[in-house]
């Protein structure tokens, strides 16, 4: 019995924490996603208030589980590590901006320029290809230049995001998707370096025996950020879209560019060594 209480996770506690965390995200994202189109009925505000209560309950359950010697689903002590606390906040912010961009770009291309889904997907292909290529080169660049590589990646992404905004605002509605090819490729290259560096940094201080838990927390926060970006900045876009599609896109991108600018500055504050993860966990 004592062995189960010291170090081994409690299945019932972890299931409770998982249910509470899932309920928190549901209570947060459903009203943010549906509220604007439904005119914000009373139940959307009730769900947002419930999300706060459920979030607090999740924290309490996890703290008590850790105090009993169990390994919680989201260990509070793990989240207090410098690399986790700073890195997760930056990954979360990055994901909000990225999720919002993918959502509003698709709407702008399909609803505004009246392109089909295939051409909308092909328009984003240069970003995906450069992101893939940059991800292969990123570990070497980060090993050589450290945090400066992350800042440079953020600056490159910021420059790439500026051009589509200018093109859409100044040339609308006579916009060719070919004009976004190079800027989106630049965005993908910059994103790949920043994203890779953030992932390495988050797990830098995580003990080897908690590596799986740390990775799970990282992926969970990333996916939550993507969903929250669509729900929040997507509302901003949908609110402005009926009046002016290019300026609706531009306003969302101003927010994303602000996030990227803060990430460029925040990269210098990241804790822990920036090196490939296989070197950190031994």
pLDDT of residue 67: 81
For residues 45 and 216, give the distance between their C-alpha atoms in angstroms, rounded to a whole number: 30
Q: Which whole number is the average pLDDT over 265-274? A: 69
Q: Compute how many other C-beta atoms are within 10 angstroms of the C-beta atom of residue 275.
A: 15
Residue carrying the six token digits 């051409």: 119
Looking at the fold, whether 61 and 114 belong to one and the same domain comes out as: no
Looking at the fold, whether 46 and 171 belong to one and the same domain comes out as: no
Residue carrying the six token digits 């965005």: 187
pLDDT of residue 271: 54
Joined tokens for residue 213: 């838990």
* Predicted confidence (pLDDT) per residue in 227-244, tens digit: 889 888 988 998 899 889
* Predicted confidence (pLDDT) per residue in 169-220, tens digit: 998 888 888 888 899 999 999 999 998 888 888 877 777 777 777 788 888 8
Looking at the fold, whether 123 and 4 belong to one and the same domain comes out as: no
Grouping H, G, I as helix, E, B as strand and the rest as coil, residue 203 is: coil
pTM across the whole model: 0.81
Q: Residue 259 burial by CB count (10 A; 0-12/13-18/19+): exposed, middle or buried? A: buried
- DSSP symbols for 228-275: HHHHHHHHHHHHHTTT-HHHHHHHHHHHHHHHHHHHHHHGGG--S--S
Q: Which domain holds residue 44?
A: 1-73
Share of the chain above pLDDT 70, in %: 91
Task: Evaluate whether 62 touches 74 at the Cβ level (below 8 Å).
Answer: yes
- Measured N-to-C along each axis, helices 117-145 and 181-202 cross at an angle, to the nearest 10 degrees, of 50
Joined tokens for residue 138: 């990123």
pLDDT of residue 143: 86
As a dihedral over the C-alpha atoms of residue 134, residue 137, residue 140, residue 144, rounded to 10 degrees, the angle is: -50
Q: Domain end: 73, 88, 108, which one?
A: 73
Joined tokens for residue 113: 């320029």
Looking at the fold, whether 82 and 48 belong to one and the same domain comes out as: no
pLDDT of residue 1: 38
Average pLDDT, the chain: 84
Overall number of domains in the chain: 2
Looking at the fold, whether 123 and 207 belong to one and the same domain comes out as: yes
pLDDT of residue 273: 53
Looking at the fold, whether 47 and 171 belong to one and the same domain comes out as: no
Looking at the fold, whether 43 and 81 belong to one and the same domain comes out as: no
For residues 280 and 282, give the distance between their C-alpha atoms in angstroms, rounded to a whole number: 6
Q: Domain end: 31, 51, 73, which one?
A: 73
């Amino acid at each position: 019995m004592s062995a189960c209480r010291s170090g081994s996770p409690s299945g019932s506690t972890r299931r409770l924490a998982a249910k509470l965390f899932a309920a928190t995200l549901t209570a947060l994202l459903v009203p943010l996603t549906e509220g604007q189109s439904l005119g914000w009925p009373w139940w959307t505000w009730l769900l947002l208030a419930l999300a706060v209560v459920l979030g607090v309950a999740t924290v309490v359950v996890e703290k008590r589980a850790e105090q009993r010697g169990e390994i919680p689903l989201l260990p509070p002590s793990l989240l207090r590590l410098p690399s986790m606390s700073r890195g997760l906040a930056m990954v979360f912010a990055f994901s909000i901006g990225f999720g919002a961009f993918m959502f509003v770009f698709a709407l702008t291309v399909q609803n505004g320029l009246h392109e089909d889904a295939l051409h909308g997907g092909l328009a984003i292909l240069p970003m995906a290809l450069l992101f893939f290529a940059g991800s292969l080169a990123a570990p070497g660049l980060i090993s050589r230049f450290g945090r400066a590589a992350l800042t440079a990646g953020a600056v490159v992404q910021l420059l790439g995001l500026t051009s589509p905004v200018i093109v859409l605002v100044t040339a609308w509605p006579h916009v060719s998707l070919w004009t976004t090819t190079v800027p989106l490729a630049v965005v993908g290259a910059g994103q790949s370096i920043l994203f890779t560096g953030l992932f390495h940094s988050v797990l830098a201080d995580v003990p080897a025996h908690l590596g799986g838990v740390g990775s799970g927390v990282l992926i969970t926060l990333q996916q939550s950020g993507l969903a929250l970006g669509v729900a929040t900045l997507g509302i901003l876009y949908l609110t402005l879209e009926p009046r002016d599609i290019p300026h609706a896109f531009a306003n969302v991108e101003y927010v994303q560019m602000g996030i990227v600018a803060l990430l460029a500055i925040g990269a210098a504050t990241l804790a822990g060594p920036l090196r490939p993860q296989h070197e950190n966990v031994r």
